[in-house]
């Protein structure tokens, strides 16, 4: 029985259910093509936010240029698929295989850039790191503007539509699990140590620099994959799609959902991607509401909308949520000690 439960964990059914419901509603026409596209983009945004969480939430390094890695993934994968379809016929099989290859290639190249950028960048700390990463994002964008092969500032058009909701959903699940397993390993723990106290981490044998680079490279890979999915969904990319504003979007998703937690990243990205669409009836005012909501969350909800909790299936420690409970527990214990001392 136990092994059966181990193999068929309830979460798998929930994922399947979510998937079937969304696809089913779409087939029935209750979710129109536009909203379906928005949901797919929300999935890509979740991957981006989870990836950003590894750098900001887990390792405590502030990055403001995450869209830069996404753009590398998007452009590289678009180049790969363009080259591939110059020699291959388009069939259902080649479509999926090429997408996979393109997306992985985009991820790998983004990771390589993550490494190249991380090495000098991580010399600077804190606020300066934010500035330098912002700079790298903008520099990458400037480079795409002058590369003729990818259309320069006008953009890269004619990318085949290979991404679909199923692909995004599968890769999203892989991202969630990979990120969870990372956090629950010695590698993730070392990154947490860097976030908490880099001097103590170093004294406990954690090579801070290496772990910062590791987090950066891992996150860049994920962002690159997300970029590849995005390019093959939207079919047209241009450098200005990946501006600093895009990077700040992900920071906003992360903080709104709950920085440091995977569940918060998922929640924040989904809600804040879909919310502006639902507020469309407010026309221009929707962005004002959106901004006010963001301010409300950041001031009054320090652990984000998801309150620093984690979905149970992730099986992660969440101390923030149980914080108050534990305080009470301590107080009780101290009282007991006092009584012991009295008697």
Partner 1 sequence: MGHVFQLLIYGLQLGSLYALLAMGYTLVFGIIRMINLAHADLMMLGAFAAYFLFQWFGGTGSMAILVPLIMIATLLFGAGVGFVIERFAYKPLRGRTTVASLVAAIGVQLFIENLMRCLPGVGALPKNFPTLLPKVNINIGGYQISSVQIIVIAIAALLLLFMQRLCYHTGFGKQMQAVSVDKDASSLMGINVNRVISITFSLGAALAAICGILYGSLYPTIYVYMAGTIGNKAFISAVIGGIGSIKGAMLGGLIIGIMEVFLQSFAASISYGLCFVILILVLLYKPTGLLGGKAAREKV
Partner 2 sequence: MSKLEAKHLGIRFGGLQAVKDFNLTMESGELVAIIGPNGAGKTTTFNMLTGMYLPTEGELALDDISMVGKMPYEINEMGLSRTFQNIRLFSSLSVMENIRIAMKREAKYSFFEALFRTKKYKLAEKQINEEAMELLKLFEMEDVAGLQAKNLPYGEQRKLEIIRALAGKPKILLLDEPAAGMNPTEIEEVMGIIAKVRKMYDVSILLIEHHMSMVMKIADRIFVLDFGETIAEGTPEEIQGNPKVIEAYLGKGGADEDE
Q: By CB under 8 A, name the binding residues for partner 1.
A: 56, 62, 120, 123-124, 126-128, 130-132, 134-136, 138-139, 141-143, 145-146, 152-153, 199, 244-245, 248, 251-252, 255, 259, 284-285, 287-288, 290-292, 294-295, 298-299, 302
Q: Is 207 in the site for partner 2 (CB under 8 A)?
A: yes
In this structure, what token pair is assigned to residue 111? 């990771």
Beta strands in the chain (DSSP E): none
Q: How far apart are CA 92 and CA 120, in angstroms?
A: 43
Q: How far apart are CA 269 and CA 41, in angstroms?
A: 10
For the chain, helix, strand, coil in percent to 5 are 80, 0, 20
Residues 6+ apart with CB under 8 A from 95: 160, 162
Q: Rounded to the nearest whole angstrom, what is the least distance from the CB of residue 5 to partner 1 in the complex?
A: 40
Total Cβ atoms within 10 A of residue 106: 34
Which residue from 186, 280, 283, 342 is in contact with partner 2, where contact means CB under 8 A? 186
In this structure, what token pair is assigned to residue 120? 């000098």
Residues 209-268 that bind partner 2 (CB under 8 A): 214
DSSP element (H, E) containing 12: helix 10-28
Q: Rounded to the nearest whole angstrom, what is the least distance from the CB of residue 67 to partner 2 in the complex?
A: 25
Q: How far apart are CA 135 and CA 152, in angstroms?
A: 19
Pick from partner 1, partner 2, none: which does 204 bind, CB < 5 to 8 A by kind? partner 2
DSSP-H helix ranges across 150-207: 165-183, 186-196, 198-203
Handedness of CA 182, 184, 188, 192 (dihedral sign): positive
30 by Cβ neighbours in 10 Å (0-12 / 13-18 / 19+) ranks as exposed
Q: Rounded to the nearest whole angstrom, what is the least distance from the CB of residue 142 to partner 1 in the complex?
A: 2
Q: Rounded to the nearest whole angstrom, what is the least distance from the CB of residue 168 to partner 1 in the complex?
A: 26
Q: 137 or 308, CB closer to partner 2?
A: 308
State how far Cα 41 lies from the chain centre: 12
Q: Is 206 in the site for partner 2 (CB under 8 A)?
A: yes
Q: 22 or 225, CB closer to partner 2?
A: 225
Residues 6+ apart with CB under 8 A from 187: 211, 214
Q: 283 or 324, CB closer to partner 2?
A: 324
Beta bridge mates, 156: 237
Which residue from 18, 161, 196, 295 is in contact with partner 2, where contact means CB under 8 A? 196
Q: Rounded to the nearest whole angstrom, what is the least distance from the CB of residue 310 to partner 2 in the complex?
A: 14
Pick from partner 2, partner 1, none: which does 320 bind, CB < 5 to 8 A by kind? partner 2
Q: Is 201 in the site for partner 2 (CB under 8 A)?
A: yes
Residues 294-333 that bind partner 2 (CB under 8 A): 317, 319-320, 323, 326-327, 329-330
Q: Could you tell me if 140 and 70 are in contact, meaning their C-beta atoms sit under 8 angstroms apart?
A: no
Q: Rounded to the nearest whole angstrom, what is the least distance from the CB of residue 246 to partner 1 in the complex?
A: 12
Q: 153 or 174, CB closer to partner 1?
A: 153
Which parts of this chain interact with partner 2 (CB under 8 A)?
A: 178, 181-182, 184-190, 192-193, 196-197, 199-208, 214, 317, 319-320, 323, 326-327, 329-330, 334
């Amino acid at each position: 029985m136990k092994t059966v439960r181990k193999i068929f964990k309830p979460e798998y059914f929930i994922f399947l259910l979510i998937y079937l419901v969304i696809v089913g509603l779409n087939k029935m026409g209750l979710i129109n093509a536009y909203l379906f596209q928005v949901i797919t983009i929300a999935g890509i945004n979740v991957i981006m936010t989870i990836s950003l969480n590894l750098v900001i939430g887990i390792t405590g390094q502030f990055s403001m240029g995450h869209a830069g890695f996404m753009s590398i993934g998007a452009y590289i994968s678009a180049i790969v698929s363009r080259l591939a379809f110059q020699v291959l016929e388009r069939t259902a099989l080649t479509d999926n295989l090429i997408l996979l290859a393109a997306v992985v290639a985009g991820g790998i190249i983004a990771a390589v850039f993550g490494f190249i950028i991380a090495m000098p960048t991580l010399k600077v700390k804190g606020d300066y790191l934010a500035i330098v990463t912002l700079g790298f994002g903008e520099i990458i964008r400037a480079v795409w503007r002058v590369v003729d092969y990818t259309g320069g500032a006008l953009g890269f058009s004619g990318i085949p539509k290979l991404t679909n909701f199923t692909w995004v959903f599968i890769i999203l699940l892989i991202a969630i699990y990979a990120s969870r397993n990372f956090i629950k390993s010695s590698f993730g723990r070392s990154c947490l140590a860097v976030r908490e106290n880099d001097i103590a981490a170093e004294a406990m044998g954690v090579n801070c620099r290496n772990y910062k680079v590791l987090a950066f490279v891992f996150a860049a890979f994920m962002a690159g994959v997300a970029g590849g999915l995005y390019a093959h969904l939207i079919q047209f990319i241009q450098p200005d799609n990946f501006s600093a504003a895009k990077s700040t979007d992900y920071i906003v998703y992360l903080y709104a959902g709950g920085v440091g937690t995977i569940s918060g990243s998922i929640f924040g990205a989904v809600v804040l991607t879909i919310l502006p669409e639902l507020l469309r009836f407010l026309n221009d005012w929707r962005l004002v509401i959106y901004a006010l909501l963001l301010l409300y969350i950041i001031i009054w909800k320090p652990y984000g909308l998801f309150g620093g909790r984690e979905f149970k299936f992730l099986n992660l420690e969440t101390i923030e949520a149980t914080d108050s409970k534990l305080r009470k527990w301590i107080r009780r214990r101290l009282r007991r000690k006092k009584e012991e001392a009295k008697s």
